[in-house]
Amino acid sequence: MDERLDAAFRFQIGGCRVFESELYARLLEHAQQDCEAGGPCALLLVGWPGDPLRDFLLLRFLGAVHARVLAGEAPELARHYPSVGGMPEWPGVWQAFLGVVEEQADALRPQLETFPQTNEVRRCAGLLGGFLEVARRYPGSRQRLREIGTSAGLNLFWDRYHYTLAPHEWGTRGSAVKLEAEWSGGSAAFEQVPEIESRAGCDIAPVRLADAAGRLRLESYVWPDQPERLTHLRGAVEIARADPARIEEARAGEWLAGELADAPDGVARIVFHSSVWLYIPEDERARIVDVLESAGAEATAERPLAWLRHEDSDERPGRMELLLRSWPGGQEEKLADGHPHGRKVDWLGG
């Protein structure tokens, strides 16, 4: 096993433990040993033509196996996966996992060729305060939501979910998506109930919710020992399919140039993204910033523009930052710190 694959294993094992998936951390430790021994995992992973770390090869690998479980094609492993009602038992879970890798390698390989595609709905708990802050600053404005790296567009429906952010509550009590997170710091503008003018997003490979294979792909990247995330995902899919948003296959810079070209008075344009910036090439990032700054230069108090970013912190690994830059003016401020899966929000803004 080469150094790059070894580095990918060490990174992903650590990430799984930080984000509370002991099942995946231990499975990857065994898979690493299997690769070193030249076992079935090595036939799929060793010799990867790209960069195993930057390509998130191990998430592709874990997702491919989980897809077989969710599809009912791996009953022995299903007995150990909480996402389908199982309970992990060692060493049985590893033996069943290895059996899937060995016996179903041909079925696993196609998913290894595609980049992981996630739509973590609980990140809306981190984004919520930002949307409400925009509503507070521009009272009476309807919000035009534009998400880049939107995946299936589930976070575009953040206003249709219910939030318990103790001691705060916000949203629709009867929602199919009920999100709970720890909240500390001050209170966001929870009295605001923004009106959404429209919602749309772009992605270089959007997931189509009308396609059962697309829905399965999304579910496969949910870690199986965190079944509440799967419940959130399925509820959000139900909401999105009932009233679909416009999702386009496009690069963000070019797409935003058209989306931000004009807006009537009384509409606040909000460009947002969550856990996306890391995956965007440097030249495309520069293009996005140029488009936003050009549109921002023409923004007014009646036609404001906001850029809301829920992204990895450069200073605190394993933490997220919620940043808001708004025009007119172009000022930027940090509104919150949080958790990559939306479990905690430390509110700093307002």
d(CA 336, CA 179): 18
- Taking only the tens place, the pLDDT of each residue in 57-75 is 999 999 999 999 999 999 9
Residues 7 and 53: beta-carbon distance below 8 Å: yes
Q: Which residues, 6+ apart, have CB-to-CB distance to 288 below 8 Å?
A: 148, 252, 253, 256, 280
> Side chain identity at 23, as an amino acid letter?
L
Q: Distance (Å, rounded) from C-alpha 48 to C-alpha 43?
A: 10
Average pLDDT over residues 84-110: 98
CA dist., res. 200 & res. 235, Å (int): 19
321-347 pLDDT tens trace: 999 999 999 999 999 999 888 899 999
- Residue 332's beta-bridge partner residues? 325
Q: What is the percentage of the chain residues whose pLDDT exceeds 90?
A: 92
pLDDT at residue 11 tops 90 = yes
Which of the two residues, 263 and 14, has the higher pLDDT score? 14
CA 293 remoteness from chain centre: 25
Q: What's residue 104's pLDDT?
A: 98
Among 252, 257, 239, CA closest to 206 = 252
Indicate the DSSP class of residue 332: E
Kindly report, residue by residue over 265-323, the tens digit of the pLDDT: 999 999 999 999 988 999 999 999 999 999 999 999 999 999 999 999 877 777 899 99
pLDDT-derived band of residue 118, with 50, 70 and 90 as boundaries? confident
- Give me the mean pLDDT over the 172-187 stretch: 95
Task: Give the model's pLDDT for residue 292.
Answer: 98
Residue 350 has pLDDT above 70, yes or no: no
Q: By three-state DSSP, how is residue 11 classified? A: helix
CATH of domain 121-347: 3.40.50
Cβ neighbors of 183 (< 8 A, separation 6 or more) are 165, 166, 167, 168, 344, 345, 347
SS3 string of 219-283? HHCCCCCCHHHHHHHHHHHHHHHHCCCEEEECCHHHHHHHHCCCCCCCEEEEEEEECCHHHCCHH
Taking the C-alpha atoms of residue 341 and residue 349, their distance in angstroms, rounded to an integer, is 20
Res. 34 pLDDT band, cuts 50 70 90: very high
Query: Whole-angstrom Cα distance, residue 277 to residue 284?
Result: 10
Q: pTM, whole model, 2 decimals? A: 0.94
Ordered by start, the domain boundaries in the chain are: 3-112, 121-347
Q: In the chain, how long is the greatest CA-to-CA distance? A: 65
pLDDT of residue 313: 86
pLDDT the model gives residue 85:
97
**205-250 per-position pLDDT tens digit:** 999 999 999 999 999 999 999 999 999 999 999 999 999 999 999 9
Residue 166 pLDDT grade (very low, low, confident, very high; cuts 50, 70, 90)? confident
Q: Is residue 186 a contact partner of residue 347, using CB atoms and an 8 Å limit?
A: yes
